[in-house]
A and B are shown apart, each in its own frame.
Chain A
């Protein structure tokens, strides 16, 4: 047990280091001079040099790397070029909105997907099954920047029930959460259906039926808990897609979260902020995935003893 935990944590550490290195390469090594883009063609050479110095981009690459590592260790992500405020402060300010949106979207997708998947599996091959799968296909095909505006068109512009954008009160959370949760709901419904179909074919389900348990008990007490592992796995993996999707959804609804901050920073060429946002989101994703892995290992001895998960 401890062995598995240590191995899993070590591999997470390797990935985190790699992520930090890749972000460094992205900002400091990839061709395309940030200074050139920032100041434009008309700037004087002196202006460029000043800016390059203030960003620390005039130093040799090794020194830049050292400074980068030092700033990461001390959790000081630099200062925004645009607003002149510390990047960590900006991130802390935007994080609650993104967390609220992600949690709401997660709730939307689970409440939509679980019943759909269960019904589809229980009535395999029926009209309900077909409907659920059409929903799943449509949900994974309509991107958030199409679904979001379409929902606004119907519920805000047409019916006037919900606000168009912004973050004021619970009502303003509904459409962004629906938009962001839909793609996840689609994947989750598919996974629930196939996992449940698989467990319904198991011997213990036949035993439960043979001893006279009614179909409802069989489905919810015997089959569903055993189908939970693949469903939770997909949920953990898809959390990353959720965080990534938040970038576009937040832009659609002017939701003041980390995603919107990322897009604004990229558009303004505010590299310290871009770096901070990318680091925060990808690290959050790695941490969540590691935690879910550890939780399964704790729940399911097959994983920690099988050694196949690493």
Chain B
């Protein structure tokens, strides 16, 4: 039941984000007559400090968060998982170096590295993706390494090795498919992390730049008008919390279904 509600929220999010492009939205239409208008029959989530309709901006923000989250998680997975699995397969000095690299990246708490990187690269949606993927690959690498270590001695892997299968083929065809379940669960949680991180960067003014709408920048603008127009804060805040909550619920659900023991990322 809970899983179904979560899935419905996520489908709604993704659907709006994808279809939003073709909807008759006016996310950037400034309308001075409706500045800070409360929710009403015409604009059902009200208008912001420039008279722009909040609902339209919410949909535009949904597509920004999806456009960031999907490539970030995809890139992180593509970089991190093979690197971690190869590291476990090689062992020895190479493994040592890669493990240390992972440790070093993990030494930057939370968003700090992404904030600094977004600051150096400058704002913009592409740079947000780069900054978040530069931080995100680490979680996948660590998980893939730990999981690959535990399955590399399995019989079918040893059999493939005995048959003279090349090591790239072993890692990509025999190891990675075997650890796909925990990686899928991690990827699900990573979507929640990426959505939050994008909103966080935009909240700090380091993400998507105005006038493009992002949930994070909408929340930041909303905090300025908390007294007169709390809906500016509540609408994007609730949207963001709902999406993140649903992704986390889905992740929990997947973990139970796929029987993955433990959530590997404790960050």
Binding site for B on A (CB under 8 A): 11, 14-16, 18-19, 21-23, 26-27, 30-32, 34, 37, 137-138, 140-143, 145-146, 149-150, 152-153, 157, 187, 234, 237-245, 247-248, 251-252, 262-263, 265-267, 269, 271, 274, 278, 281-282, 285-286
**B206, CB-defined interface residue at 8 Å:** yes
| Segment of B35-43, B150-158, B215-223 in the binding face | B215-223
Report 20 cross-chain contacts, Cβ distance below 8 Å, ordered by A residue.
A15-B103, A15-B107, A18-B101, A19-B104, A19-B107, A22-B108, A22-B113, A142-B241, A142-B244, A145-B199, A153-B226, A157-B227, A240-B107, A244-B112, A248-B200, A248-B203, A262-B112, A278-B108, A281-B112, A282-B109
Determine if A266 and B119 form an interchain contact, defined as CB atoms under 8 angstroms apart.
yes
Interface assignment of B4: CB less than 8 Å from any CB of chain A: no
Give, as a whole number of angstroms, the nearest-CB distance from A9 to chain B.
14
B47 at the A interface (CB under 8 A): no
Contact of A146 with B109 in the complex, beta carbons under 8 Å? no
Nearest CB in chain A: distance from B239 CB, A: 10
B110 touches A143 (CB 8 A): no
Q: Quick one: closest A residue to B204, CB to CB?
A: A263
Give min CB distance, B196 to chain A, whole Å.
Answer: 5
B222: A residues at CB distance < 8 A: 149
- Using CB atoms, name the residue of chain B closest to A285: B109
CB-CB nearest in chain B for A37: B122
Given A22-B104, A247-B112, the answer on whether A153 and B120 have CB atoms closer than 8 Å is no
A195 to B100: give the CA distance in the assembly, Å. Answer: 28
B89-140 CB contacts (< 8 Å) to partner A: 100-101, 103-113, 115-122
B210 at the interface (CB under 8 A from A): no
Query: Which residue of the partner chain, among B100, B107, B200, contacts A285 with CB atoms under 8 Å?
Result: B107
B69 contacts the other chain (CB 8 A): no
Residue of A nearest to B200 (CB): A248
The complex places the Cα of A218 from the Cα of B226 at a distance, in Å, of 49
B267 within 8 A of A: yes
Interface residues of B (CB under 8 A from A): 100-101, 103-113, 115-122, 192, 196, 199-200, 203-206, 216, 219-220, 222-223, 226-227, 230, 233-234, 237, 240-241, 244-245, 248-249, 252, 266-267
Give Cα A21–Cα B101 distance, bound, in whole angstroms: 11
Residues of A within 8 A of B119 (CB): 265-267, 269, 274
Complex Cα spacing A241 to B248, Å: 18
Q: Given A27-B120, A149-B237, A248-B200, are A263 and B109 also a contact pair (CB < 8 Å)?
A: no
Q: Which residues on B sit within 8 Å (CB–CB) of A146?
A: 219, 237, 240-241
Tell whether, in the assembled complex, residue A241 and residue B107 are in contact, meaning their CB atoms are under 8 Å apart: no
Q: How far is the CB of A21 from chain B (nearest CB, A)?
A: 8
List residues of chain B with CB within 8 A of the CB of A266: 115-116, 118-119, 204, 206
Q: Say which residue of A141, A265, A285 sits within 8 Å of B244 (CB atoms).
A: A141
Given A15-B100, A22-B104, A281-B109: A141 and B248 interface contact (C-beta under 8 Å)? yes
Q: A244-B109, A266-B116, A278-B116 are in contact. List 18 more A-B contacts (CB 8 A).
A: A15-B107, A30-B117, A141-B192, A141-B244, A143-B196, A146-B237, A149-B222, A149-B226, A157-B227, A187-B266, A237-B267, A240-B267, A243-B109, A247-B112, A247-B115, A263-B204, A267-B205, A282-B112
